[in-house]
Chains A and B, each alone.
Chain A
Amino acid sequence: MNYWPLLGVAIVVAGFAWRLNPALVVVVAGIASGLLAGLTVPDLLALLGRSFVSNRTLLVIVLTLPTIGLLERAGLRERAHAWILGLRRLTFARLLIAYLALRQIVSMFGLTNVAGHAQTVRPLLAPMAEAAAGKIDPALDDDELERIKALAAATDNVGLFFGEDVFIAFGAVLLIQAFFSQHGIEMDPRSIAIWALPTAIAAFVIHALRIAWFQRGIGKPGRARRGSIAQETSDVAH
């Protein structure tokens, strides 16, 4: 076994740790790993090019940007903000927990693309969460607003990940089935998806509790201190 290509992994870890530009780090790691495995330069270039274009699906989401951009210019985020302020009983925690539940249920039916960071989090959920937090403490500082927006994005991730696996036609379930089938173990996709259900419920409970806990701390001193650490480190980021 040739262990040298593992150096590519080390390059990725070191590159991220030193906060070099991730795009550059990733390509350098790929080139290093390929050369250390004994690929020739022409073969490596072809592998890079072919894998890159075969993953174009990952960028289809940019098609949402013109709509989002036009609506933002026309005041979408301001409207989302005002709408939440008008709903007195919709608290920060209720908003995010309801979104989490909705995202999980919709993903369970295989509808993973209906929501996401570009489609729903930036234009709708993040400004709504800011507005709902503003009802608790109108004088939130930048660090706290940043943490609120990050939690909104995290909530979308948790809802997506631990909903989609319960859907039988989802890629993960089919991948598991295909893998075991190759190794002589046949199983029904339903029997795999069902075992993702306990984790889906646990994910909802854990993350909902964390959202409720987060709400208790909004506007309290001490939060701000922890937030300022993030600010110090962010200067060297880009």
Chain B
Amino acid sequence: MNWSTILPLVTKDLKLFFRNRFFAFITVLGLIAYAAIYLAMPRSVDEMIGLGLYTPTLPPQFAQQLEEEGEPLLLAESEADLRQAVLDGEISGGIALPADFFEGLQAGERPIVTVYLPSDAPQDLREVMEVLVEALVLGLSDTPLNIDVREEILGPDLVGQQIPLRDRMLPMFAIIALMMETLGMASLIAQEIQSRTINALLVTPMRVREVLFSKGITSVLMTFTQAALLMLIIGGFRQRPLIIIVTLLLGALLVTAIGFLMGAVSKDFLSVIGYGIPAIILLGIPAMGIAFPGLLTGWARIVPSYYLADTIHQVVNFGASWSEVWLNLLILSGVVLLLLWLSGFVLRRKFR
């Protein structure tokens, strides 16, 4: 490997990129836009229904039962206060018990409980509130119900410490940042093959391996830098940054190999887009599965980016260590090596 020929080629490609001010400016703008989307998304998860209660005579069991369920309860001084709390958005719904609630209940009557909801409350919440009130009153009554419930929590119990959607989407942001510049590299290779400028290069003392290596370095530098910068802005390095750096580097190599393959089979930029968009969608699928849990089943593991997305998710959102993600990284490395070899093989044949 002759570094004295590789480095000038890398420098030339990078200069070509940054000489185009529009291209450079727009790339930065893209990064800012993705970071802005992340920062604009809610930083916490609203996992409570948020209830308020007004009762002229406070039944202690009522409040206690709700709080046992984990729902914080706002106790209003008056029905007007309860209504105002709903209107101000302090609570999602307010339950107002009538003055003779307990007497009526004991007399076997069906007291009327008023539930205040904001007018934009979806139909689902209206029904949920009805069920909650009925279930709570049933809990207070002497209605016998003997059921032996064996409950099992599957996975880490995240009540009170839910992962916000924007953090679940971190792997998706990383994959988008990694993939976007790959289209440019694939297009460059396709153009070089079509216009035969690669052949001109090979007239010089450069060998195919060195041309590929220099293109690879340029692509990895561009993709890794962008992804790392984006992750830095959106807090992707807050846990175990070394693992994230290694993962992004492997991701940059993965998309570079895919970019090379796309460049080899494409005729022009349009066909790069034709192959590139499905590739981005495919690589983005595992990240979608992380953002929206339950969307995917085990088949998502056959997509190589699963190991990239899952590693970022495990590390950033659960603080996973090397010992927990080593298998992901090993599989990712294996896939990267295989794809790099394959893309090198295909491109070598193209260059001949």
Judge: A and B partners, yes or no.
Answer: no
B positions within 8 Å CB-CB of A: none
A positions within 8 Å CB-CB of B: none
